[in-house]
Amino acid sequence: MSKTDYTPLLESFQFKTGFTLKNRVVMAPMTNFSSLPDGSVSDEEVAYYIRRSKGAGMVITACVYVSAGGKGFPGEFGADKDEMLPSLRKLAAAIKGEGAKAILQIFHGGRQCPPELLPDGQAVSASNVPAELPSGGNGPIPRALSEAEILSIISDFGEATLRAITAGFDGVEIHGANGYLLQQFFSPHSNTREDRWGGSLEKRLTFPLAVVDEVKRVVKEHAKTPFLLGYRFSPEEPETPGITMAETFALIDALSGRGLDYLHVSLMDFWSLPRRGTEDSRPRMEQIVDRVAGKLPVIGVGSLYSADDALKALQTGIALVALGRPLLIDPDWVQKVAEGRQTEIQTALDLSAQSTLVIPNPLWGALTHTPGWLPIKA
């Protein structure tokens, strides 16, 4: 039996901006609930990132809120004001110190924000349409944003980008996935506006593209060295009406012409199949790669626990493989592949290994008390 060659995962990758990653593995952005109450990064979080930044070529942080009204999680860290700069500097330096590029994911939670985390206790969105909950029923009713508030949030994305540049990050990723504010504007489910920010497909793209343009403007104006700009999106939505694959393709076309450095597809399962909006029955990821047609690199993610899983994913034509849960379970994933020890990669969480895995208590509690989030070692 011939030996599998894993070197494609370890090859360097160069972005058009002249930026080179040491390998094709990216640490996916994952919420860790472990920041301090004022929104600054805790020492436990820094240690958690250091433990996972030795192997991956690029680390995308947990999302940071760009506006106080966009905080989506307890223990989420912030980039909404200059007071956060020391905290952001500490995190960027920690990740880069281990040899990985550090990307700050910037976000506004919109209607997904828990009211108790918000200054005025009121979540906002494109329209006053509540989220449909997976368990049934609806979330809290958000307040529709005014024109002035929309412009202010666009500006907040730019300000957070400037803080990322100032703090020494290598780039930012705009979080347009997982049902948060940018996706809420793009979705016909959550955006029922009839002004320039909603209605037709083209108008529903206005807000996400305005955020991209503002972030791009700030990067052009303030970044003195190559600085990456990525965009993460979720293909399709389960709701009706909701984003279809056809609308996802329209989003990809619009983003492909915007001078981004990469697109990052958010999926729980890399090989998941489309629901609607395409006649093609192949996995969504393959169709997305075809649609992008080499215009910019695509990062793929979704339950790729073993080296074989990641290698097979890379063969679809994606440029980079993002690992989220696999790096929680085994922070030495990349090193094991590099040393020919891929059979030693752990693919289920060892409940006795919290200290060696360097996982902060709030995240550990969430991982061990949320059935189905991670495979658990028997």
Spatial distance between the Cα atoms of 113 and 361, rounded to a whole number of angstroms: 22
Q: Is 180 a catalytic residue?
A: yes
Nearest Cα residue to 88 out of 69, 65, 56, 119: 65
Task: Evaluate whether 274 touches 280 at the Cβ level (below 8 Å).
Answer: yes
Torsion 246-252-257-258 (CA) sign = positive
Spatial distance between the Cα atoms of 366 and 375, rounded to a whole number of angstroms: 13
Nearest Cα residue to 125 out of 148, 137, 147, 142: 142
Spatial distance between the Cα atoms of 44 and 30, rounded to a whole number of angstroms: 15
Task: Evaluate whether 56 touches 327 at the Cβ level (below 8 Å).
Answer: yes
Q: Which of 65, 180, 262, 305 is catalytic?
A: 180
Nearest Cα residue to 376 out of 328, 335, 331: 328
Structure tokens at 139: 């979330």
Spatial distance between the Cα atoms of 209 and 189, rounded to a whole number of angstroms: 19
Residues with catalytic function: 180
